[in-house]
Amino acid sequence: SQQGEEDPQALSIQEGENATMNCSYKTSINNLQWYRQNSGRGLVHLILIRSNEREKHSGRLRVTLDTSKKSSSLLITASRAADTASYFCATDALSSSNSGYALNFGKGTSLLVTP
Amino acid sequence: GAVVSQHPSWVICKSGTSVKIECRSLDFQATTMFWYRQFPKQSLMLMATSNEGSKATYEQGVEKDKFLINHASLTLSTLTVTSAHPEDSSFYICSAREGGQGHNEQFFGPGTRLTVL
């Protein structure tokens, strides 16, 4: 499956700072989504941006999408210790098995927010 | 929002046994269900896609005889790990999508942690 690349792999910041994570992908997409996962837990859906959208906001989250560069970014403003988690981008695209559309996940960014 | 449940949430088994994991969509009909696997500190890897009433389509490198998927109804899919071995220990996550135009979102279950001794 096509898997996006995210950078950085790990990010450590202090509370109140902004955190920016980037995601790049390879094929055409229907939409791109960002998820959060606390250690050993399930996924939490954060935001979905469609291929014809360029920017989307949700609370302290801001997502951009540049389909010409096949890249997206997630910005978390005024971070809190509770934001500590792994963040994954996922592209909704045809799966490599051609069984239809499925979400393919990037490698993730591990965010640590220290008080 | 749409809810997907998984059962069990964790399981420990001996090497050579088979383990069945259930995935249910609780408040919507899931035309398509997906199974993912996640090893520690790694991302989710799509294993297979199943449409209700038809055989699952497996991603490259996933053994269909080892990971049996059944999607017999619009609200239930099962993944059976046959003759499990320690290398099959992983976090298995299912996901479900409603059918039809405009239903783009996949809803994820909470995952099942499998440990094979």
pLDDT in tens, B33-62: 999 999 988 999 999 999 888 889 999 999
Question: What would the two tokens of residue A48 be?
Answer: 């979905």
Q: Which pLDDT does position B102 carry in this prediction?
A: 55
What pLDDT sits at residue B87? 96
User: Which residues from A are below 8 Å from B51, CB to CB?
Assistant: 99-100
- Which secondary-structure segment (H or E) carries A31? strand A31-37
Alpha carbon distances (Å) from B80 to A41, B17, B114: 21, 10, 11
Q: Compute the mean pLDDT over every residue in chain B, rounded to the nearest whole number.
A: 91
For A9-18, the pLDDT digits (tens) are 999 999 999 9
At residue A89, the pLDDT reads: 95
Question: A102 near A3, Cβ under 8 Å?
Answer: no
Q: Which residue has the higher pLDDT, A71 or A4?
A: A71
CB-based contact B105 A106, cutoff 8 Å:
no
Q: Which of A98-112, B46-60, B93-107 has the lowest mean pLDDT?
A: B93-107
Average pLDDT, chain A: 91
Instruction: Return the higher-pLDDT residue of B99 and B78.
Output: B78
- Rounded Cα distance between B5 and B83, Å, is 24
Distance from C-alpha of B24 to C-alpha of B110, rounded to nearest angstrom: 11
Neighbours of A75 (CB within 10 A): 14
Residue-level pLDDT at A2? 44
Question: Residues A34, A87: contact at Cβ < 8 Å?
Answer: yes
Among B42, B51, B108, the residue with its CB nearest the CB of A43 is B108
The pLDDT score that the predictor gives to residue B21 is 98
Query: What distances in angstroms separate CA A52 from CA A17, A58, A60, A62, A79, one per listed residue?
Result: 30, 18, 22, 16, 28
CA torsion sign, B103 to B105 to B109 to B112? positive
Give the residue carrying structure tokens 């695209």: A93
Report DSSP state, residue B117: -
Q: Where are the beta strands (DSSP E) in chain B?
A: 4-7, 10-13, 19-25, 30-38, 44-51, 57-58, 67-73, 76-81, 90-98, 106-108, 112-116
A21 vs A93 pLDDT, higher one: A21
Per-residue model confidence (pLDDT) at position A39: 86
Q: Which helix (H) or strand (E) is A48 found in, with range?
A: strand A43-50
Closest CA to A34 of A43, A53, A26: A43
B95 contacts A103? CB cut-off 8 A: yes
Whether the CB-CB separation of B48 and B35 falls below 8 Å is answered with yes
Q: Contact A104/B60, CB-based, under 8 Å? A: no
Q: With an 8 Å Cβ cutoff, are A102 and B46 in contact?
A: yes
Confidence of residue B104 (pLDDT cuts 50, 70, 90): low
- State how far residue A18 is from chain B, nearest Cα, in angstroms: 24
Cβ atoms of residues A10 and A65 within 8 Å? no
Whether the per-residue pLDDT at A7 is higher than 90: the answer is no
